[in-house]
Structure 1
């Protein structure tokens, strides 16, 4: 079997010849450290962040089969992005910038954590219509023939390819900030609905444009990241009100093209949003971030049965420990993998402290998890 055939077998609850070793990318810091340790050539640092070429090289050397990445053949992001600019240096050592989303952030040069948001260009109808609405309307220039050609080449090698369907809530939350999004419900609900519809229409048109190329995608994928350790950052009722109709439209379109594995990337505790996704066509959770809330597909499978599938759920931090820790994790995941409809995968990018030999060992062991 090739990787496409393995993916389709597992997601249709059939037994493949073996489990594929799947990843979700690598942090720049771990790549730099592996270069310093001599595991890979320093030439890999010349690639852009998360470049496909760099990931292909790492996958081959480590033993991964493919990464769970969906391509943006037609981008659903701001088009164009805002120009990133330095704003000012503050006395406490922080630098203030405006980033590509029009968000004012604070960060230190030596910091690795997510920057602090301290302001947003998007605040009201005037800023929406001047800066964002023109950047969130469909244009043919959004389509990338080069990206489509790359996907065709991957598929020709027997690897699965995914279609990125955009974000129906998460990116708007980025533009407004969670506080701004929360206030907008009261301050200008009509404008908020217009924002959600604008983004929903853009995602729908972009997906249709890509499907019209005739390429047969193996799965489709959304991105949200609207949860944290205790649950959603916004009420499930609000999420359903503003996103459900567009999820349904897009997933119905995907199904009409024979795409039956439809995943969503959402970190944090997602349990309260699961019914909304499942009722509106999304059936695969990713990356099942274990976190302090101990996420697993096990209780979801007990509640929803085969209606829910998953990719992820492997505790990535164990890759910094030893073989024994990885053996225990494989033992924990084995009964879940043997139910099918589930592919183990580190629950985020391979972290900074992951040991090269541990990642190789994990790849070897996960391929044998169905034995």
Structure 2
């Protein structure tokens, strides 16, 4: 069994603060359903929580506490026994598989041009109405009541461009062919998220850290040039870092791939 969650929180924060925890934190944030199914076949207790069973530490990542999207109507375009084709809140078309945990395939991006961006850009206006996710609210309340390390995980601005809206192919091409459009999208989204984080804290929410999840690298390095990172990414990370410093939050970043550049 895992320790008292308050001890796990202290352990994680001590490690993040470069202190000396009683032991290294041990975390596993999620499990593929296929993995759990195999474990059940191999004797893992049905219904057991892997975090508790393996004695791991627990982090509560609160996703979408405020709306990260353009809040467009979600639509189902096609549905079979094997897959679903949908349009999501950002406006991109996705194909997801019913019997597999593989990430959805993007069939069409949310936008490619200035005109398309300008039509949806006004939706990224901060306000109390953006706190419209009862499930995230319940997750937050439960995590705080249990004493878990609680982290807010808004979308990172460049990830908003190359994953959530344009997609990798169109987004990476736009960095080269429409740099001003990419710059405006990244800046607008950073402004929106920072404004919403201010509102979040003013409403009394308390977090231990802010954590960006943004796979900006592959096995050989960045998906774009270091010069592009200096233009589009680092200035806004500096803003978020200053925000976290001013409000007593740790600032964390997750990235797949080779981050050596």
TM class by shorter-chain length?
0.7 to 0.9
TM-score (norm 2): 0.80
SS at match of 1:23: coil
Is 1:183 matched with 2:140? Answer: no
> Once superposed, what is the RMSD of the aligned Cα atoms?
3.1
1:98–1:104 CA contact under 8 A, matched in 2: yes
> Counterparts of 1:81 and 1:126 in 2: how far apart (Å)?
17
Is 1:139–2:127 an aligned residue pair?
A: yes
C-alpha separation in 2, matches of 1:6 and 1:88:
46
Aligned partners of 1:121, 1:230: CA distance in 2, in Å? 28
1:169 maps to which of 158, 171, 184: 158
Q: Tell me if structure 2 keeps the 8 A contact 1:76–1:206.
A: no
The 1:36/1:102 distance shift into structure 2, 3 A limit, reads farther
Rg larger for: 1
For residue 197 of structure 1, report the CA deviation from its aligned partner: 1.6
Asked if the contact 1:220/1:262 (under 8 Å) is kept, the reply is yes
Q: Tell me how far 1:246 sits from its aligned partner.
A: 2.2
1:61 to 50, 53, 63: 53
| 1:222/1:135 CA distance change after superposition, 3 Å | same
Q: Does 2:40 match 1:32?
A: no
Name the structure 1 match of 2:147: 158
Gaps of 5+ in 1: 45-53, 273-371
Q: What's the CA shift for 1:221?
A: 0.7
State the distance in 1 between where 2:63 and 2:73 align.
Answer: 19
Q: 1:122-149: per-residue Cα shift (whole Å, max 9, x none)? A: 111222233x324433232222576456
1:269 positional shift: 1.1
**Cα offset, 1:227, TM superposition:** 1.2
Contact conserved, 1:88 with 1:96, CA < 8 A, in 2?
yes
2:117 is equivalent to residue 128 of structure 1: yes
Partner of 2:85: 97
* Of 216, 221, 226, the match for 1:226: 216
Which of 7, 10, 25 is the aligned partner of 2:15? 10
Q: Name which of 69, 94, 101 aligns with 1:78.
A: 69
CA-CA distance at 1:230 after TM superposition: 1.1
Aligned to 1:267: 256
Q: Contact 1:70–1:220 (CA<8 Å) still a contact in 2?
A: no
Cα deviation, residue 150, structure 1: 4.0
Q: 2:197 aligns with which of 207, 215, 218?
A: 207
Q: Structure 1 residues 118, 158: closer, same or farther in 2, change over 3 A? A: closer
Give the 3 Å change call, closer, same or farther, for CA 133–63 of structure 1 in structure 2. same
Distance 1:137 1:179 in 2: 27
Contact 2:109 2:167 in 1 (8 A): yes
Alignment partner of 1:251 is 2:241:
yes
Matched, 1:194 2:177: no
- The Cα shift of 1:264 comes to 0.7
Distance 1:151 1:105 in 2: 28
Change (3 A) 1:256 1:34: same
RCO higher in structure (CA 8 A, sep ≥6): 1
Asked if the contact 1:162–1:217 (Cα under 8 Å) also holds between the matched residues in 2, the reply is yes
